[in-house]
Chains A and B, each alone.
Chain A
Amino acid sequence: MDAISNAKLAVQALAGAALALPVLMLPVQAGQLETARGGIKFLSYSEKDRMEANSPLLWAEAPLGENFDVAATVTLDSVSGASPQYVSNRSGSPVHTLTSASIIEERREAGVKVTRHFDEGSLGLGASASSEHDYLSQSVNADMRFDFNEKNTTLAFGVGETNDRIGSSTQPTLDEPRTTRDYLVGVTQLLTPVSLVQSNLTYADGNGYFNDPYKYTLSYFLNSRIPVMQRDTRPDGRSSAAWLTRYRHYVPAWNTALLADYRYYRDNWDIRAHTFDLGLTKELARGLKIAPSLRYYTQSPARFYASSFTNAGDLGSSDARLSGFGAITASFKLIYAMDERTSLDASFARYRQEAAYRLGGNGSEGFPTLNANFLMVGMSRIF
């Protein structure tokens, strides 16, 4: 490979996710695309004795004129099965009770992004929208990237706003807004010919309706047959910060890329969380790669989380997702390049949430252990 090609490919790898926007997490390129690309990814997520979700995702991107790229994605989520509805301590200890099996609920999401490329950076504008029968979300965002230090360093800045409307099939009159503004500053740095690091700091400031209209808590106490009922009630604002650092290291002798990611999260609901990812991608033979990985997650409970309430109060939630717990994911992926233009992949992962997995081991009482499987298959093609 000649030096110019090396340089071009390296810049693409460097900025591969300098701004990997959730709104449109397509393979963002540093330079303008030369050809159109597209693909499909199918996710099947299945929880033991609970819900299932199936999500096909289509994506495509193409060069537009001399300096622009356009990218688009469409997703359809179909969710069925039971989910946690209320917590009751009638039996003497907190028990999470599931809804009866639900009909299939669908969520549609579409996004588009246009990027203008310059010699030493880019400017991107994106928009996305999603709809469910009880939830609407619209989002716009902008990002800028600056390459300097002979393209050893890339600085990224982003800003976004998401406007949601929350309804409920059990409270037909519910129609509440929520607005969230996001900010990102990030740096990607080449360290050596075989290693690079990226560090992003994001801040989100949300205002509006954060309650889960489907959840409540029933608390029974001595000498009382009538429970205290606490509807899920959360603060009307949430500010959070996440600091994500990702490291990549290539070992030529093993034909292997190693990855290590860490994210620290905190918010003004007093939740603190740590996420660790470790993995590798090894090229076994020409066109065939394997990628095992491990993920560990731990969080502290929100300050208004409890599994029972003496009195119905202004704030209170027994949503297990706001409790203290930990989670482990073990996954394995196969990637096969059929030819220079077409690639196939398949992944399987096991996910488990448990109170005892919390860092330090003191997870919340009555936390419902969750076991789930992910299965993902995908195909991508260069046109």
Chain B
Amino acid sequence: MRILLWIALASALAGCANVKPWERGYLAKPEMGFDSDSAQARNLQHIYSSKEAAHGGYGVGGGGCGCN
């Protein structure tokens, strides 16, 4: 059910906006990226996944550690 809702949301988003290429100057700024500092995000996720039970959401594979 959750997956169906998610797909419905994705479909709705796909049809809701059309930002033209020449309107994307602000979106192109590095701080608007989702992982503008990926090395730091990677370090932090590694620490959090060794101190908390939750993990995932950011990608797939890797990160195996005896600290978990």
The chain A residues found within 8 Å of chain B, CB to CB, are 1, 3-4, 6-7, 9-10, 12-14, 16-28, 39, 41, 43, 45, 53, 55, 57, 59, 73, 77, 79, 107, 111, 126, 128, 130, 132, 134-141, 143, 148-153, 155, 158-162, 164, 166, 182-185, 187-194, 196-204, 240-244, 246, 248, 250, 252, 257, 263, 265, 267, 269, 271, 273, 275, 281, 283, 289, 291, 297, 299, 302, 321-322, 327, 345, 347, 351, 353, 370, 374, 376, 378, 380
* Contacts across chains A and B counted by CB atoms under 8 Å: 296
Closest to B38 in A: A25
A149 with B52: CB separation less than 8 A: no
**Cβ-defined contact, B28 with A321, below 8 A:** no
In the assembly, what is the distance between CA of A302 and CA of B53, in Å? Answer: 9
Residues of A near B30 (CB, < 8 A) are: 13
Which of B13, B21, B39, B65 has the most chain A CB within a 10 Å cutoff?
B39
Q: Are A21 and B61 in contact (CB under 8 A)?
A: yes
* Nearest A residue to B12, CB-CB: A189
Which label, helix, strand, loop or mixed, suits the secondary structure of the B interface?
loop
Residue pair A26, B41 in contact (C-beta under 8 Å): no
Q: A22-B45, A152-B17, A193-B19 are in contact. Are A240 and B39 (CB under 8 A)?
A: no
Most buried by A among B10, B60, B66: B60
Which of A126, A192, A242, A302 meets B56, CB within 8 Å? A242
Contacts A199-B6, A199-B9 given; does A135 touch B65 at CB 8 Å: yes
| Chain B residue nearest in CB terms to A282 | B31
